[in-house]
Structure 1
């Protein structure tokens, strides 16, 4: 497909970027009925010159990230349906093998099997070294301990796929315009108006930025600071190898060869050839491999991070220079420059694993670019404050099919879906980022950090330690440091996980805190358990400043919140209610507490971390013009004093009566704590007697210290997020983004009591159907492990016999109930209390039983 279309004057939808993401999105939008679609790109088509052009196209589907694995699986299905111009299926289903050279990596590969079972990747297998060699004869089996084999993994040429997707989209009415550089986007009154290109302007309703490595430059032009950065990695193709001499392929007669060759030069002779055997990854050395006829391709992430300045990338040169490719740096192939892999150079690692490559010349070699974002996930969805502006970036060939489908469903039907099933994209939402993440300094350093961690064995609790720390400090930061807080970065906040000052509590509670194994014991301290038990039996103080806080203000604020929320919002001043926000399909968009603080003013409290910003964007997106939505997260310090002695502590210093009669549960009052003004809410995410206290940030440290001083006679202790998670899970409180998200409706989540069907709200029709028993495919289930000394982590599969029936959404040891508590969603017949199941964790099956919730009243 070499489109010669000229730029039209107007269109409903303009997609900027005709790489693998843009082509997938155009195809999916056209399949959903949109026909007035224009796709523009600075390069020729289908070989645009971006990363889709030079990528080797390997597709390993399995990761711990559910959305990435689901995206990859859907992409495989899409590419398998496509036919290239040569009449062959676009997807090469040759299987994928990841090998281990260490005990630690072998354990990691077993985890990959468990993630594959959780996410539905078919037939995952662990192979012995000999079995790896049977499938990949050139591998030296003496170098490895085994491998992970996914039979449905494979490879797709980005150029072949882009061509096939574009042809399908054009048959449905889409237009592709090559050789057209986008220069700006015109915004008026918060609405997109037109795309400005070097060849003219095009008026439109929706614009999707799908430019990946060039995304940041375009965003900066309109004041949207996207933390998407280009990073370089190396790819080479050997000369012809004698060991592959029976696999010589002449690709010059391929219908796309001339187009590909014009942009990529002679390496098109190799890149257009699909592999004839499983693709291969040596993650211990950050390398991957695939055949190109009688040559081997060698990809390396095994070098120091190379993050070019987007402003210096330029575009694709008319003379054939690709903006997505930099000159190959021999030094990075022949020297050990990766900070975590100093043992051997990439070329040495390749020669050890594939001896046939030893001494072979490298005929084609380049530093290719792809894009990455701070948490390594795509950047998708509608941009807050810019009606009609969408993003679809930070994605590779592996995941682009799923990204295209999810974003297309989002644009047309209001909810992301794959295979007619909702998929939660909170962690990939474009609005998840905080202000500091848009700076080039932060984006560059975190892009480099994400690159460094590719192919590393990353623990789910890992946080970066070297770059971009101490950015956001709660007012209690210095006090936390004095108490020996273990600080982790959460959305830029430095948050305590536990406090070393509480080590002495282990003397009292050690016998109730089981030891943990090597993997689940990483980034964990028994102090978390001691802090948990101290709160249950005494009193604790927790800093919750980072939880997102909004004020909704206006004469019609109550009516607006009624439209937004599932519960009855007819509140008196001082009343609090727990409610949900749902999307149009009835999925839980957020759980929040709403406090009416004045006649026309409400305080909304919701999840923190990176997903909290999505909720702020959602509220603003739906607010009418006469409503003001203020994000007051940074304006207010927040803390919770909770535990059986909480009333005694606060009564020492509060200027109000804290008795049940004068300060009932789920009400709010404003008063002073000594000399500090507070807004106090009688509720507790820890599930014990307690008050959440809010004060302007400048008073936060003073308030914190007042409470600690008043609590000395009651042995009050600060406690961190580790203890809070253990406290909340025992009480059955959901944590949005973990065991509560848009893939489930309120009745599946066991939160039907937070729905009032006598009110009108977003998603009511779907929620009402669920209330009548429709759309209930899974139900929340609370499990405890039968082995009281074992703790598991999330994302592991749950079985009935050999049948996977769900996965662990969240898990933490319940120090009060004396067992590990797991929250999951199971088919309704399995969610009944007393049902016995098994959880596969670190290669061992553990018996677990469904329990009545909550475990603690």
Structure 2
């Protein structure tokens, strides 16, 4: 590998950071044919001293977010193909076991089996306590309820993986330079121009910031605030144990040993020793374990969050000081400091599970750092504020191979991909964050909360409650509070999920709302069902201010929209059109409604909730210089009045004729509601007669009051997101990020009606090929056969009474008007035909379901 003396003066792509993420990115870019990739790091190579150096390298592939499991599975395969020395693979396929100490955790492990089945992780199994002890003889079976076993899980040394990846990348033309700190990134109005290092300037076209715990500091030099926080967790290694006698390994001949020792000292000789049995997690106590020859390594997240200030981290110095490692805090090992785990100290929990460690000295112990994002997922992709700037941060060794592959494909082709096809990165996209998330207060508090939950049993609808709430308020916030709204945080917005003031509706509708007692009953209220039925039968008002809203302005705005959208965008003023935006690979980047509100002015409305900011970044990245893209989400209060009595309600206060002839579907008018100026759109995401109303934010609360007053005689009720989710799924309306995203093309998603192939648009070549080809999968609407049953997303869909995995649940909500749980999934076309019988594997049971013609209503 190179050093400061071989620094080139120019490169096409510069990757800053030669840890596991930077090496994976460079390897995959080189593998795609790029020969002008430069990797720069301030530390020595290949052992830079970052998180990849101190990490024990355990790799569990199963997770609920599909993207993490897919990244991990690819990483496992990649590391298995890399050689460290004498034809030995970098990856140790030992298997992995997660144990349960409670019935609640056993239920959770069953979910892991189902997630693994859905995502294609090989052969997931539940084990009895004795079966766990057979594979892990030092575990006491009497303290556990059972375990989850994934045979292909294992371990990969970050140092060995970095060395192997760098060697392969260099053979393909990439350059690596160590001992060189990057001091700045030069930009101009057109984007990235160069990096400035302590050893010279390098002109370049693209920069990938892969500096992990240092990513925030470097990006802030460009006034870009990445919501990434360094957090500490503990790792210790016991003295040699008699029970493991004879398993010590001599690693002094390992090609990376001398370099590793110069950075990490004596513990490097132990860290390089391979595990000889399955890796282990005790998530009830937030701990993990692996052997190092004749010793046990014990990792602990079981302590209060420790979040260092990024400005005080420093760098990895020549004297062997590792900035990613802090002094061990003995107190956190021997005392119960985790706010959710007060029963026992980490050392006590460890000695209970593996009695052989009791009383053993801990020869090596340190607090190692990694970086955390607000939702615990990677921070990847092109930074919208600066052309040519990319990020790759908050990524573990487990996921770095897949993340590096997806990022390289994204940079090269415009579409993130893994070998089995496109991978949707909506929840990993660096542009998903709202402006407030860039503050250090927010990143620190949410990083701490993510750390606190890292091994917790977290419900998919869980919303953080301790920190950083009540940030963004719609104009109707106080009205919602007065009606006892159950408020959840969505991209910082306090949004109603249901209203406790509507509990009286249960007297009318309660017999149509099945009770939920299990996992699916958490974070749910029967009031959601009552609100949904009230909309179907009367009238409701929903606050949709947080929906993403963009204004496209300019003399060429119409031409730009035609390039951006799949449908014919030749609109008259006042006309609305539903359309899609696709990426270069034909994947659906968003589904939107476009309203022409003026000669050179258009209003774009998108769904997506917490990931909706991705749409704004996408539109801005495509816009020509003579078209202005304004984010007007906060500028405009928005609400929808919908239901059979919506016309009667609004006619009392609106200065417009609401008849079908005067105000047809998919049209808009500028008018007044009482004294409030509004742009009214004749459409409704609930699927009933309705109008969306938009007004400058300062008018929003009064507009809400006018509509509520007008609807009083029709018993108008506000309704929350829970009801809306049910209403929209019954009507077959897609929700981007759930049953629609970039892994689907318009025809797979059943949205071919929103494509006009006589027009030219971004991604047309791929979309046209999809239109003329055979579908590998097709959207399918299922209903559960038992009207009392309910399932949640991310569970496998199987052939009826068989084991073949056909797909997975993308979205599921109870349809209170149709009287059954509605599931949206994607299946092989032969199984997507109405009437086909399938099963959904949920919480250990098989739920019978039938494919239906959509929409259901």
Partner residue, 1:178? 178
Secondary structure of 2:498's counterpart equals strand
Shifted more, 244-253 versus 837-846: the winner is 244-253
CA change 1:420–1:519 in 2 (3 A) is closer
Q: Does 1:591 align with 2:591?
A: yes
Partner residue, 1:150? 150
Alpha-carbon contact 1:61-1:73 (below 8 Å) kept: yes
Q: Distance in 2 between matches of 1:668 and 1:571?
A: 12
Q: How much does 1:771 deviate?
A: 1.0
Alpha-carbon contact 1:56-1:271 (below 8 Å) kept: yes
Alpha-carbon contact 1:212-1:371 (below 8 Å) kept: yes
Q: How does 1:577-656 map to 2 (within 5 A)?
A: 577-656=577-656
Q: Does 1:844 align with 2:845?
A: yes
Q: Does 1:104 align with 2:104?
A: yes
Unmatched 5+ stretches in structure 2: none
Q: How much does 1:7 deviate?
A: 1.2
1:727-770: CA deviation from partner (whole Å, max 9, x where unpaired): 00000000000000000100000000000000000110111111
Normalising by structure 2, report the TM-score.
Answer: 0.99
Q: How much does 1:120 deviate?
A: 0.3
Partner residue, 1:573? 573
Normalising by structure 1, report the TM-score.
Answer: 0.99
Alpha-carbon contact 1:190-1:385 (below 8 Å) kept: no
Secondary structure of 1:363's counterpart equals strand
1:167-216: CA deviation from partner (whole Å, max 9, x where unpaired): 00000000000001111111100410000111111000010000010000
Partner residue, 1:695? 695
Q: Distance in 1 between matches of 2:289 and 2:839?
A: 37
- C-alpha RMSD of matched pairs (Å): 0.7
Secondary structure of 1:426's counterpart equals coil
Partner residue, 1:349? 349
Secondary structure of 2:83's counterpart equals coil
Q: Does 1:195 align with 2:195?
A: yes
Q: Distance in 2 between matches of 1:168 and 1:638?
A: 54
Q: How much does 1:420 deviate?
A: 4.6
Partner residue, 1:821? 822
Alpha-carbon contact 2:224-2:385 (below 8 Å) kept: no
Alpha-carbon contact 2:274-2:292 (below 8 Å) kept: yes
Partner residue, 2:413? 413
Alpha-carbon contact 2:839-2:847 (below 8 Å) kept: yes
Shifted more, 2-11 versus 179-188: the winner is 2-11
Secondary structure of 2:656's counterpart equals coil
Shifted more, 360-369 versus 193-202: the winner is 193-202
Q: How much does 1:317 deviate?
A: 1.8
Alpha-carbon contact 1:215-1:393 (below 8 Å) kept: yes
Alpha-carbon contact 1:2-1:44 (below 8 Å) kept: no
Q: Distance in 2 between matches of 1:567 and 1:474?
A: 32
Partner residue, 2:810? 809
Secondary structure of 2:267's counterpart equals helix
Q: Does 1:471 align with 2:471?
A: yes
Q: Does 1:706 align with 2:677?
A: no
1:459-509: CA deviation from partner (whole Å, max 9, x where unpaired): 000000110000000000000000000000000000000000000000000
Alpha-carbon contact 2:490-2:609 (below 8 Å) kept: yes
Q: How does 1:490-529 map to 2 (within 5 A)?
A: 490-529=490-529
1:101-151: CA deviation from partner (whole Å, max 9, x where unpaired): 000000000000000000000000000000000000000000000000000
Alpha-carbon contact 1:59-1:154 (below 8 Å) kept: yes
Secondary structure of 1:166's counterpart equals helix
Q: Distance in 2 between matches of 1:112 and 1:11?
A: 44
Q: Distance in 2 between matches of 1:84 and 1:24?
A: 15
Alpha-carbon contact 2:275-2:291 (below 8 Å) kept: yes
Secondary structure of 2:524's counterpart equals coil
Q: Distance in 2 between matches of 1:185 and 1:791?
A: 52
Q: How much does 1:773 deviate?
A: 2.4
Partner residue, 1:797? 796
Unmatched 5+ stretches in structure 1: none
Q: How much does 1:31 deviate?
A: 0.4
Q: How much does 1:796 deviate?
A: 0.3
Q: Distance in 2 between matches of 1:449 and 1:140?
A: 31
Q: How much does 1:87 deviate?
A: 3.3
Q: Distance in 1 between matches of 2:16 and 2:594?
A: 40
Secondary structure of 1:110's counterpart equals helix
Partner residue, 2:783? 784
Q: Distance in 1 between matches of 2:111 and 2:660?
A: 49
Q: How much does 1:88 deviate?
A: 1.0
Q: Which runs of 4+ in 1 moved over 3 A?
A: 1-5
Q: Distance in 2 between matches of 1:694 and 1:200?
A: 54
Q: Does 1:377 align with 2:349?
A: no
Partner residue, 1:138? 138
Secondary structure of 2:75's counterpart equals helix
Q: Distance in 1 between matches of 2:55 and 2:608?
A: 37
Partner residue, 2:262? 262
Q: Does 1:662 align with 2:662?
A: yes
Q: How much does 1:154 deviate?
A: 0.2
Q: Distance in 2 between matches of 1:608 and 1:718?
A: 21
Q: Distance in 2 between matches of 1:4 and 1:540?
A: 67
1:65-113: CA deviation from partner (whole Å, max 9, x where unpaired): 0000000000001000000035310000000000000000000000000
Q: How much does 1:5 deviate?
A: 5.6
Secondary structure of 1:297's counterpart equals strand
Alpha-carbon contact 2:639-2:693 (below 8 Å) kept: yes
Q: Distance in 1 between matches of 2:46 and 2:837?
A: 53
Q: Distance in 2 between matches of 1:607 and 1:428?
A: 17
Partner residue, 2:290? 290
Alpha-carbon contact 1:85-1:256 (below 8 Å) kept: no
Q: Distance in 2 between matches of 1:5 and 1:662?
A: 75
Q: Distance in 2 between matches of 1:500 and 1:562?
A: 45
Alpha-carbon contact 2:608-2:737 (below 8 Å) kept: no
1:349-378: CA deviation from partner (whole Å, max 9, x where unpaired): 000000000000000000000001000000
Q: Distance in 2 between matches of 1:343 and 1:769?
A: 59
